[in-house]
Chains A and B, each alone.
Chain A
Amino acid sequence: MSGISDTERMITLKTVEGTLFDVKSSIAKDLKTVQAFIDDSDDDVTSPIPLPNVFTRELSRILDYLNNHHRFRSGIEKADEEMARYDAEFAKSMSHEELKALILAANYLNVKDLLEFLNQTVADVIQNKSVEFVRNFFGIENDYTPEEEEKLRNENEWAFNGVEQD
Chain B
Amino acid sequence: MTLPPELLEIIFLRLPVRSLIQFKCVCKQWRSLISDPYFAKLHYDVAIAPTHNNNTKLLYLSSDFSRACCVKTEPSIHHDYPFKLQETYKNHSLRIIGSCRGFVLLRNYKPKPVLILWNPATGSHVRVPYPNNSSNSEFPCPDFFCHGVVYEKSNDDYLVIMGSVRPLKRKPEWKFFSVRSNSWKEIEGGDCFTPNISMGHQLGLLYNEAIHWLVVYNGSDYPRGIVIVAFDIATKTLSMIPLPYPQDPSQWELSLVGGAGFFGICMLNEFWPYIFVMKEYKVESSWILIDMLLPSDNTMIPLCFTQSGDVVWMNRINKDLIKFGKLGSNEEELQEFKLDFCDKDTVLVMFNESLLSLPSSCRQEE
The answer to whether A103 and B15 touch (CB under 8 A), given A131-B22, A149-B25, A162-B81, is no
Query: Given the complex of chains A and B, what is the CA–CA distance between A158 and B66 in angstroms?
Result: 11
Q: Are B27 and A142 in contact (CB under 8 A)?
A: yes
Query: Which residues from A are CB-within-8-Å of B8?
Result: 138
Query: Which residues from B are CB-within-8-Å of A107?
Result: 7
Q: Are A142 and B24 in contact (CB under 8 A)?
A: no
> In the complex, which of the residues A120, A139, A156, A163 contacts B2, with contact meaning CB atoms closer than 8 Å?
A139
Task: Please report the number of residue pairs spanning A and B whose Cβ atoms sit closer than 8 angstroms.
Answer: 84
Q: Are B27 and A144 in contact (CB under 8 A)?
A: yes
Q: Least Cβ distance of A117 to chain B in Å?
A: 11
Q: Are A126 and B84 in contact (CB under 8 A)?
A: no
Query: Given the complex of chains A and B, what is the CA–CA distance between A141 and B28 in angstroms?
Result: 10
Q: Are B14 and A143 in contact (CB under 8 A)?
A: no
Q: Encode B26-47 as 1/0 by CB contact (under 8 A) with A.
A: 1110110000000000000000
The answer to whether A134 and B26 touch (CB under 8 A), given A123-B14, A123-B15, A127-B16, is yes
Query: Which residues from A are CB-within-8-Å of B283?
Result: none
Q: Are A100 and B21 in contact (CB under 8 A)?
A: no
Which bucket holds chain B's interface residue count?
Answer: 20 to 34
* Nearest B residue to A156, CB-CB: B21
Query: Which residues from A are CB-within-8-Å of B82?
Result: 158, 163
Query: Which residues from B are CB-within-8-Å of A158?
Result: 67, 81-84, 120
Q: Are B1 and A128 in contact (CB under 8 A)?
A: no
Query: Which residues from B are CB-within-8-Å of A39?
Result: none
Q: Least Cβ distance of B78 to chain A in Å?
A: 9
Query: Which residues from B are CB-within-8-Å of A80?
Result: none
Q: Are B19 and A101 in contact (CB under 8 A)?
A: no
Query: Given the complex of chains A and B, what is the CA–CA distance between A142 and B23 in angstroms?
Result: 11
Query: Given the complex of chains A and B, what is the CA–CA distance between A140 and B19 in angstroms?
Result: 17
Q: Is residue B79 contacting chain A, with contact meaning CB distance below 8 A?
A: yes
Query: Given the complex of chains A and B, what is the CA–CA distance between A19 and B169 in angstroms?
Result: 85
Q: Is residue B80 contacting chain A, with contact meaning CB distance below 8 A?
A: yes
Q: Are B3 and A126 in contact (CB under 8 A)?
A: no
Q: Encode B108-127 as 1/0 by CB contact (under 8 A) with A.
A: 00000000000011010000
Chain B residues 68-86 with CB under 8 Å of chain A are 79-84
Query: Which residues from A are CB-within-8-Å of B79?
Result: 163
Query: Given the complex of chains A and B, what is the CA–CA distance between A141 and B11 in angstroms?
Result: 19
Q: How many residues of A contact B (CB 8 A)?
A: 36
Q: For A101, A131, A155, which residue has the most chain B Cβ atoms within 10 angstroms?
A: A131
Q: Is residue B10 contacting chain A, with contact meaning CB distance below 8 A?
A: yes
Q: Is residue B180 contacting chain A, with contact meaning CB distance below 8 A?
A: no
Query: Which residues from B are CB-within-8-Å of A139?
Result: 1-2
Query: Given the complex of chains A and B, what is the CA–CA distance between A163 and B67 in angstroms?
Result: 13
Query: Which residues from B are CB-within-8-Å of A138?
Result: 2-3, 8, 26
Query: Which residues from A are CB-within-8-Å of B14?
Result: 119-120, 123
Q: Are B23 and A131 in contact (CB under 8 A)?
A: yes
Q: Is residue B316 contacting chain A, with contact meaning CB distance below 8 A?
A: no
Q: For B15, B23, B79, which residue has the most chain A Cβ atoms within 10 angstroms?
A: B23
Q: Least Cβ distance of B115 to chain A in Å?
A: 23
Q: Is residue B18 contacting chain A, with contact meaning CB distance below 8 A?
A: yes
Chain A residues 50-75 with CB under 8 Å of chain B are none
Query: Given the complex of chains A and B, what is the CA–CA distance between A157 and B81 in angstroms?
Result: 12
Query: Given the complex of chains A and B, what is the CA–CA distance between A164 and B22 in angstroms?
Result: 13
Q: Are B3 and A104 in contact (CB under 8 A)?
A: yes
> In the complex, which of the residues A103, A143, A159 contacts B22, with contact meaning CB atoms closer than 8 Å?
A159
Query: Given the complex of chains A and B, what is the CA–CA distance between A152 and B31 in angstroms?
Result: 10
The answer to whether A156 and B24 touch (CB under 8 A), given A139-B1, A140-B2, is yes
Chain B residues 252-277 with CB under 8 Å of chain A are none
Query: Which residues from B are CB-within-8-Å of A101?
Result: 1
Q: Least Cβ distance of A161 to chain B in Å?
A: 8
Q: Least Cβ distance of B58 to chain A in Å?
A: 15
Query: Which residues from B are CB-within-8-Å of A131?
Result: 22-23, 25-26
Q: Least Cβ distance of B87 to chain A in Å?
A: 13
Q: For A100, A138, A139, A158, which residue has the most chain B Cβ atoms within 10 angstroms?
A: A158
> In the complex, which of the residues B11, B16, B18, B26 contacts A140, with contact meaning CB atoms closer than 8 Å?
B26
* Nearest A residue to B121, CB-CB: A159
Q: Are B28 and A143 in contact (CB under 8 A)?
A: yes
Query: Which residues from A are CB-within-8-Å of B1?
Result: 97, 100-101, 104, 139
Query: Which residues from B are CB-within-8-Å of A152?
Result: 24-25, 31
Q: Lowest 3 A-B CB distances belong to which pairs?
A: A123-B14, A158-B84, A159-B21
**Could you list 6 A-B pairs, sorted by A, with CB under 8 Å?**
A126-B11, A139-B1, A142-B27, A159-B18, A159-B21, A159-B22
| Chain A residues within CB distance 8 Å of chain B | 97, 100-101, 103-104, 107, 115, 119-120, 122-123, 126-128, 131, 134-135, 138-144, 149, 152-153, 155-160, 162-164
